[in-house]
Each structure stands twice: as structure tokens, then as C-alpha cells.
Amino acid sequence: MKWNFISMGVGEFNSNTVNERPLGGIESSLCFLMESLYQLNEEIHFYSDFGKQQIINNINHHNLSRPEQLSSLRDTSSENIIIYIGTIENIAIVKKNVDKKIPILLWIQHSYDQPFLFNLKNKEIINNLDGIVFVSEWQRINFINYFNIKNIPTYCLGNGITPNFCKMFSSLEDFYQKKKIKPRYLFFNTFQRIRKTLSMFRLY
């Protein structure tokens, strides 16, 4: 299997960035997934509009500043799959520049009510997808109901956490233990101070 991960309009990162600095949950998961798939002897390609033509951690990285650079995905000699993260309007561009037989899965982490996702109501965009991957069951159900998604398979794959964040949490626990402060008390005390300034705030 040839796995093709495409990132458009997300920001600059590569398969090793997760080990260098904090990333968003879905970007972290993508890095870990690429590494895991490589260890299973799968062929991995990562296309990014900020990327460079290089090999990092045995992952093939490609620049995607122009859609024409997806021309290698018109080759049907191997079994391909595309996992896409990025702006919704670019899905049609990807579909147009690759072989029509290659399945495209959208991987998304945002809430259904974000304005930039409203294009998912466009049937032409939905018809370009062969599946949607969500980060939680709650998110999946909300998307299905809000966008009336019926005929597309949906999946859940949780967010990842970068090693940098793990270190931060560890030191934070040490801080709480040394100062004998319980995190929940710190949270409630902070919330009370917010309420004094913004009385409309409520805790649910």
C-alpha cells in the first residue's frame, strides 16, 4: 500500500516536527501514524505546501506549492490511498489532479460549527470524499447530523500528544506537588476571578 498524506493550508511541519516542538493534535497523530506505517513496511509520502523534496525519518516529503505536483498520484501501478488535512476548498483541487480511483479520506479535528467548514454542505465536495476521519465520537455524530452525512464511511482516530507536551505536564505535576496545590482548586479559583469581571460566564 502506498500512503499519501496531504497537508494544504495547515502550516509548516514535517514528519519529525513532533519531536522538535509542540504541534496540534491532528498533526501530531499524523506524524505518529506515518512512523508506525513505515515500521509496517508501508510506502509513505507526505505532501505539503510548505514542504521540501527530501527524506526525513525514512518518509518521502514532497513540495506541494502547485497542484500539478500531485501528478505522481496519477500512476495506478500501485495501490494508493490519500489522507487529506487542510482547507475544505482544496479537496476538489486534489481530486482533479490525481487518479479518480484513488480513495480520498478527509481527516478533521474542528467542531462542526466552524465557518470555514460550511463548504461541506456542498454536495460536489462531499462527493469527492471516500471517507471522513474524526478525532472523537462526539465530533463524528455532530458532523453527521449537522451536514446530513449519509453515504460516506466515517471513522474515529484520536488526537496525538507531542513529547514536548508530555514533558510540560510532568513538570506541572511536580510544581503542584511541591506547592501542595491541587489542579482542580486552582481551576475553580481562577474561574471565580473571571466571574468577578465577566458575570455572564457560566461553568457547565
> What confidence score (pLDDT) does residue 196 get?
63
Strand pairing category for 131-134 and 80-86: unpaired
Give the distance between the most distant pair of CA atoms in the chain: 65
What pTM did the predictor assign? 0.75
Domains and CATH numbers, the chain: 2-156 (3.40.50.2000), 172-197 (no CATH)
Q: How far apart are CA 54 and CA 15, in angstroms?
A: 11
Q: What is the pLDDT of residue 44?
A: 93
Q: Measure the CA–CA gap between 45 and 145, rounded to whole angstroms.
A: 33
Sheet strands side by side (includes 80-86): 54-56, 59-63, 43-48, 2-8, 80-86, 104-107, 131-134, 154-156
Q: How confident is the model at residue 179, as a pLDDT?
A: 46
State the distance between the two ends of the chain, measured CA to CA, in whole angstroms: 45
- Tens digit of pLDDT per residue, the chain (204 long)? 889 999 987 888 888 888 888 777 788 888 888 888 888 899 999 998 877 889 998 999 998 877 777 877 777 667 889 999 988 888 888 888 888 889 999 999 888 888 888 888 888 888 899 999 998 899 999 999 999 988 899 998 877 655 555 555 455 455 445 444 444 444 555 555 555 665 655 555
pLDDT at residue 161, rounded to an integer:
59
Tell me what pLDDT residue 176 has: 47
Confidence (pLDDT) at 81: 92
